[in-house]
Amino acid sequence: MRRKAQIDAEGLIERIAPILSDMIGRTIRDSRDDMAEALGPLMGEAIRVQIRDSRKDMVEALYPVIGETVQKSVAESVREFQRNIDSQLKKTFGPEGMLRAITARLRGVSPTQLALRDSLPFSVREIFLIQRETGLLLAHSHPGTSEIVDSDIVSGMLTAIRDFVQDSFGQGQEDKELDEIQYGDQRIVIQSGRAAYLAVVMTGVEPEGFRARLHQFVSDLHVKYESALKQYNGDPATLPNLQPKIARLVADIGGEERGPKKMSPATRWGIAGLVLLGILFIMLACFYLQFTVALYPVAFPSPTPTNTSTPTSTPTATATPTSTPTATSTPTSTPTPTFTPTFTPTPTSTFTPTATPTPFTAISSDDMWIRPAPDFSAPHIDLLFINTPVKVLSVYGIWMEVEWNDSVGYHHGWALAKWISLLESVPTEHITPTPTQ
């Protein structure tokens, strides 16, 4: 019995295998999404086990695909980086640019975006969401134009152009597609997906992150509605409401309906701290300036000379030569001798020069300027500080000729007598000469 049951089971398997294969193949053709959904968890687990057991084989099998994917991503990043650099180079710098940057920062908008908006206007005119295989229009928005165009014809023509470029220049490479069309100052940027692609008609230079935002939108759309996008046959009832999503995309990439971002609490506290520091710095600077101006006369005093009458010069004593007796003639004998009287010289009074005065000690009673001559028109040559011991060499009216030594060296000149305190009286002979008989 066991042998017979085994034979019957093998025969049943042989008879049922073709039927099961046909049923599985038909199910895969008719319900690909259902089969994918049913086999998805099993395939994920199978791939994980295969990678664990045959890592090198999986790397060699996936290397071409991963390499092309990475290359395409890097190329797109480089193009995005180049566009950003070009837009930055077209901006201007100056006081107005700095003011715009500060204003933008206070409003929560980056200075780069504000400068880009001022110098390089950017606007989105139309957006088309088109089915990839048939060219049917899935959604349409025209925020930047009021002209009514036949969106179905435009979507069909765009699909035809993409297919023509792919057939003519693709050379059998399925991963390379048309991504941009330019006509005059307008451009059509195309972002492709598995079931549909997005075409954006715009003018100007797109802002930073524009392509990345389109790619993210198409990816999110396929994650949620890929089945509906693939099965669309022209009946709008089978499609989800995509118009709000298109409108949100326009607001994100166009920036027309997007308000300024609010500053974070940390940013607000930072700006407030900088303002307070600036006010404190200004107050300290004003206090320091006032303090310096107030102490300047104390730290650097300057003596103020007083006007006095101009002295007259005193004549110096000179020696007077004495007269010498004159020779007289010798008397000669004459017939009548007579005596001739002669004049006897008498001494005359002469002025005897006085002795040179010796210096005597004095001290300065205030700070004063020293001049090279006893004259107010003479320039200032030195400064005599208060309480400095000096030696008085001579007196000339209201002036005194003084000399002194200090750490700098020897000093000599004329000073006003009223600022010199004498430690001994001035002898008369130190002022004027005394005549002698």
Over residues 305-350, the pLDDT tens digits come to 555 555 555 555 545 454 455 454 555 454 555 545 544 555 544 4
37 occurs within a structural domain: yes
204 occurs within a structural domain: yes
**Alpha-carbon gap, residue 115 to 112, rounded angstroms:** 5
**Alpha-carbon gap, residue 155 to 138, rounded angstroms:** 9
Indicate whether 239 and 161 sit together in one domain: yes
* Mean pLDDT computed over 39-58: 79
336 occurs within a structural domain: no
101 occurs within a structural domain: no
pTM above 0.75, yes or no: no
DSSP string computed for 34-71: HHHHHHHHHHHHHHHHHHHH-HHHHHHHHHHHHHHHHH
Contacts with 225 (C-beta within 8 Å, 6 or more apart), sequence order: 239, 240, 242
- Taking only the tens place, the pLDDT of each residue in 402-431 is 999 988 889 999 999 888 988 777 666 656
Indicate whether 147 and 241 sit together in one domain: yes
Q: Number of folded domains in the chain?
A: 4
Structural domain span for residue 126: 121-254
Indicate whether 284 and 407 sit together in one domain: no
Residue 100, pLDDT score? 62
Indicate whether 180 and 239 sit together in one domain: yes
350 occurs within a structural domain: no
**Alpha-carbon gap, residue 66 to 7, rounded angstroms:** 49
